[in-house]
Amino acid sequence: MVKQLVLLFGPTIMIILGLPILQNVPITFLLFYGWLLLIPIVVSFRRKNRNRFFVPQPKSSLTVGIISGIICLIAIYGFFYLFQSLVIDRENLSTLLVQWDFTGSKVILLVFFLILVNPILEEVYWRRFMYDRLFHRLGSTFTILITSFFYSLYHLVVVMPIFNSPFHILAAMIVFLAGIMWGIFRSKFHTIIPSIVSHSLADLGIMLVYLFIIL
């Protein structure tokens, strides 16, 4: 039980160390993605778990991933386009990004990383690694709810200083619902490919908001 709690809270702890404490985005990336990448490898190796991260899937699963991802992209961009002045204080955000060292050439690299790498590592960790660890004890429904909650928890830590109140709570709730959706994909199709595709398009929407609305 203690080990499961460490694995569930681990990503959030990495985010807290990187942003509120060290206040540095590149270091946060190293801590957070280092955890997402290394922990499943180490634990799976120790348990001699040879289950594959990806399995063949029907074409319908890819279609579901693409359509849901496009809907997420449009919804994210449209929401910020319409309500940007209510959600974000541009002056405060600009100061915060400089304080976090999210500036200059690092921005391009980090944006590229968020679109292409982040969805894979997050889906492997939550919808494959943690899902498999909890499923046999809790069943599909509780596993999806628990992994979605802890998935949304560190997103709340990230958006609290960025979004005006109460939009940081709303954002965390939306992330929680997205986690449930991707968990359902994992349960229904027995693969994380659709959730990765959908997640990638959703992250692309967030990056388009940053590049074309916030900047």
pLDDT tens-digit map of 151-193? 999 999 999 999 999 999 999 999 999 999 999 999 999 999 9
User: Residues 104, 161, 68, CA angle at the centre, nearest 5°?
Assistant: 80
Note whether 205 and 80 are within 8 A (CB): no
Per residue in 53-77, pLDDT (tens digit) is 555 566 688 999 999 999 999 999 9
Three-state DSSP at 52 gives: coil
Q: Both tokens of residue 24?
A: 């540095």
Q: Both tokens of residue 129?
A: 């690694």
Three-state DSSP at 163 gives: strand
User: Which H helix or E strand runs over 170?
Assistant: helix 167-189
Start-to-end CA span in the chain (Å): 44
For residue 213, the model assigns a pLDDT of 80
- pTM (two decimals): 0.91
